[in-house]
């Protein structure tokens, strides 16, 4: 798979993960969408294959962190949160 395809695949994967992890949290969904898009646009003209591979690794690590480390909760009353299993 070429680097451009890997970048596009990571972009899509990050957005799918964002939708799953922040489901029912409109503010977090939007903030994550903006951040993902900003980071990809900021590095859009990168041409160095080594730098692109490095950024792909960082992006994959972020996706793994989101998928495995974010805990979603809902307020059950003013002092209590109930965690949701994703």
The domain limits of the chain are: 3-84
Query: For the segment 29-66, what is each residue's pLDDT rounded down to a tens digit?
Result: 999 999 999 999 999 999 999 999 999 999 999 999 99
User: SS3 of 70, please?
Assistant: coil
- Taking CA 11 as the corner, what is the angle to CA 9 and CA 17, rounded to the nearest 5 degrees? 100
**What's the rounded Cα separation, in Å, for the pair 17 and 23?**
10
Cβ neighbour number for residue 36 with a 10 Å cutoff = 19
Residue 85 has pLDDT above 60, yes or no: no
pTM of the model: 0.83
Query: How many residues are present in the chain?
Result: 86
């Amino acid at each position: 798979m070429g680097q451009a395809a890997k970048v596009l695949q990571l972009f899509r994967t990050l957005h799918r993960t964002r939708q799953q992890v922040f489901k029912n949290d409109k503010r977090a969904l939007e903030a994550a969408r903006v951040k993902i898009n900003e980071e990809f646009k900021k590095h859009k003209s990168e041409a160095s294959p080594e730098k692109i591979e490095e950024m792909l690794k960082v992006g994959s690590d972020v996706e793994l962190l989101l998928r495995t480390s974010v805990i979603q909760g809902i307020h059950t009353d003013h002092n209590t949160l109930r965690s949701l299993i994703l």
